[in-house]
Every structure is written in structure tokens, then in C-alpha cells.
Amino acid sequence: MAVAFNGTVHALNRRGRFGSGPQRDGHSVADDCADVVALMDLAGARFLFGYSYGGLVTLPATAAGVAARLRTRAVQGPPRRGDDPAPP
């Protein structure tokens, strides 16, 4: 992916997975969104891509204050959550 847009790719290891550290009780999508926003702030990222669960996190993360500075946001195959309304 980095070659396609001539940039740096940062991959976030979610808490409690892949040796990234413990996941606290009550961990939520909102916590993962906050982690994405923090990583984007640290890296100065202007592109955001989310696949599967990452897509589910990408959508609210962009609403959490990073949308204004993004050049591109892409989402592929986010799962539907049972409490979300059906798409139009």
C-alpha cells in the first residue's frame, strides 16, 4: 500500500492482540477509535484505511476530529453490528 501512494504505512495493533499490551475490561469500539486518533496525531497521518473491524473503527474515528485533516479515507468490508441500522 505504501508504494501506491508513495508514503509511510502505520499499522495499529489493537490492545490485547499481537503483543500490544493488555485490553482492559469494558474495552469498546470508542477506545479503538481513540487509539486510531492518537496514532494519527503522532504520525501526522493524512490517509486512513480500515479493513473489516478496522473499517468499523475508521468511520467513527474520522468523526472524532481527524476528518478535517484527511486527504483520503477508505473503508473495506466493515462488519455490521447488531445495533446499527440497516444501510439504505
CB count in 10 Å sphere of residue 37: 18
Tens of pLDDT along 54-87?
888 888 877 766 777 788 888 888 777 655 544 4
Tens of pLDDT along 31-57?
888 888 888 888 888 888 888 888 888
Q: Are the C-beta atoms of 15 and 27 separated by less than 8 Å?
A: yes
72: helix, coil or strand?
A: strand
For the whole model, what pTM was predicted? 0.70
| Cell numbers describing residue 31 | 477506545
Cα separation, 24 vs 41, whole angstroms: 23
Across the strands, what pairs with 50?
A: 75
Name the residue type at position 75. Answer: V
